[in-house]
Every structure is written in structure tokens, then in C-alpha cells.
Structure 1
Amino acid sequence: KEADKNMMDIQPGDVERTWADVDQLIADYDYRPNTSIANGVKAFVDWYREYYK
């Protein structure tokens, strides 16, 4: 069964922006993100359009 969605404006206390600090991953594991901005934005837009149908 699909969940009922009630899309609302941002609520008090909601976080509008967030990002990950991967400096420790780089230092400990030599982690290097390899998704380009173009591919990452496209993947996000594809997900967003599917999610908010």
C-alpha cells in the first residue's frame, strides 16, 4: 500500500540545508566521492520527480 502524503510548507525547526563533512573519511579511509555535480544533480532530480508524483 502506498503511503498517504501530505506535503506541507517548511515547519518551524525543520532544517533547510545540510551537508556532510567527509574530511575524517578522507583522512581515515582515503575516501574520495566520485559522482560529478552533473550526474549527482540529474540523479537527485530523477528521484525527486519520482518521489513527488
Structure 2
Amino acid sequence: MIYQLSNLPLLKLVDNIILIRTLGHCITNSFYKKAIEGGALHLLVLIHVLES
């Protein structure tokens, strides 16, 4: 879901950071997985809007 916007450089960078943190710390935690799936897209869009 969050990868649909990763063609934009800033979003790709943030997405990579989220992915690394997820893989490193909380990939097995369903709460964090739901937060990544549901909230990361909003976060990425918000950051993109702020950077525009």
C-alpha cells in the first residue's frame, strides 16, 4: 500500500527508512504492522505536502 507513491524521491527515502525500522524492530508486532500499513501512507503524503 505505501509503495504506490514511492516513485517520488522523498517518499522513497522515507519509505526506505520506515521499511528499515520495521524490519529491524517491529516486523513481528501486529500493532506496528497495522500502523505501518494504515498510518505510513498518511505520514508520507503529509511530508510530501509539507515539502512541496
- TM-score where L is the length of structure 2: 0.36
With the length of structure 1 as denominator, give the TM-score of the two structures: 0.35
Larger radius of gyration: 1
Higher relative contact order (Cα pairs below 8 Å, separated by 6+ residues) = 2
More helix by share: 2
